[in-house]
Each structure stands twice: as C-alpha cells, then as structure tokens.
Amino acid sequence: MIIDHPYHHPYRIKETLRRLEKASRTYSKYKVPQSVKSVMVTRDNRILMLRRPGSRGWDLPGGGVEKWESLPSAYKREIREETGLRVNNAMVLYSFFRNIKGKEPKMIHYVGSFIDTPADEIKVKLSSEHDEYCFCKWSEIKSMDLMPSYLKALKLAKVMMIKPRKAWLKIHNSPR
C-alpha cells in the first residue's frame, strides 16, 4: 500500500526529507546515533501504534538510522520494514536529544505521515519486531502506556496535522 495525502500541505515529502537530511548531516558530524519515529494518521483520524512481543507498552513505527544511510532513507525503510506500508508524505513534528543515565545518547526525530485510507481498510504487515498493532482513537491514547516523548509527538501531530486537515475539509466540502 502506498500512503499518500491529497490535500495541500506546506511540508510535502521533498521539503521534509530535505530537513531530515540537514539534521542528519549536523548530528552525524558529532557521531551521535539517530533514530526516526513516525506518527501515522489515517483518514478517519486514527493513529497506528505497534506493540513489541512481551511488552506492555505501545510503540510508534520507526527505528535507528544506520551509519551509511540518510535520515530520509531510514524513515522510508523503517516504515516499510515494520508495517509493509510505503510513505509518500511527511511532516517533521520535532526532534530532541535523549540523554538518559545508563543509555547511549541519541538524537530522535519524530515525523508525521497521513494515510489517506480509513483504518479498517489498511493491511499492515508486521515485522518480527512487533506482534500486535492497532489504529487508536485520540481518546484511547491518553490511557495507553507511552513514553513522554511519544505523547509530545502525538500532541504535536494533533495540532499540526489533524486540525489543519479538518479546516481544509470544512472549507472545501461546504456548499457554495
């Protein structure tokens, strides 16, 4: 399945990938490991969440950037590997430097993508990294066991992706 978003949006895939590429060059200079995570929103405003085997918490699709690859190619690869979906649109939500005692410091980039299909029509092919997935409503997210950085990315996605889309639909679907 190819993910595409027909609505006009200022951050199309080329611009987002350019921004990710710039961030990748900046942090790779300092040999900082990087990771990219995706907030994937469906046409009916549900979020794709994944669960790892034996874990009680939920995960966002994505993963580490190999030393030889760019952030944009890592983003596309991780989504394809973990879900079987192909990404054709993206929007940078935020990036942050994770420096937790006992863990390796890492730069994590959160990116949003639209899936212009209702959740019940999407066929996700999970990799061996995950054993379960769900398309969650925004109201269900609050009760899920999520890391604080995931919650921040999801809140930003709601403000930066969902509200502008609803406004666009309201304007373009109103009787003239």
DSSP the chain: -EE---S--SS-HHHHHHHHHHHHHHHHTTT--EEEEEEEEETTS-EEEEE-TT-SSEE-SEEEPPTTS-HHHHHHHHHHHHHS-EE---EEEEEEEE--TTS--EEEEEEEEEE-S-GGG------TT-SEEEEE-HHHHTTS---HHHHHHHHHHIIIIIHHHHHHHHHHHS--
pLDDT at 37 over 50: yes
Q: What is the pLDDT of residues 139-163, one digit of tens each?
A: 898 888 888 889 989 988 888 777 6
More confident position, 100 or 176: 100
pLDDT-above-70 percentage for the chain? 75
Are 81 and 64 in contact by the 8 Å Cβ rule? The answer is no
pLDDT at 70 over 90: no
pLDDT at 24 over 70: no
The reported pLDDT for the residue numbered 82 is: 95
The total number of residues written for the chain in this structure: 176
CATH 3.90.79.10 is the classification of domain 2-173:
yes
> How does the average pLDDT of the chain come out, rounded?
80
Average pLDDT over residues 46-73: 88
Domain boundaries, the chain: 2-173
pLDDT band at 175 (very low <50, low <70, confident <90, very high): low
Would you tell me how many other CB atoms lie within 10 Å of the CB of residue 148?
Answer: 7
Distances (CA, A) of 171 to 7, 9, 46, 163: 12, 14, 22, 12
Decide the pairing of beta strands 2-3 and 86-87: parallel
Instruction: Classify residue 73 as left (phi > 0), alpha (psi -120 to 50) or beta.
Output: alpha
The reported pLDDT for the residue numbered 122 is: 93
pLDDT at 7 over 90: no
Residue with tokens 């030393």: 67
pLDDT at 5 over 50: no
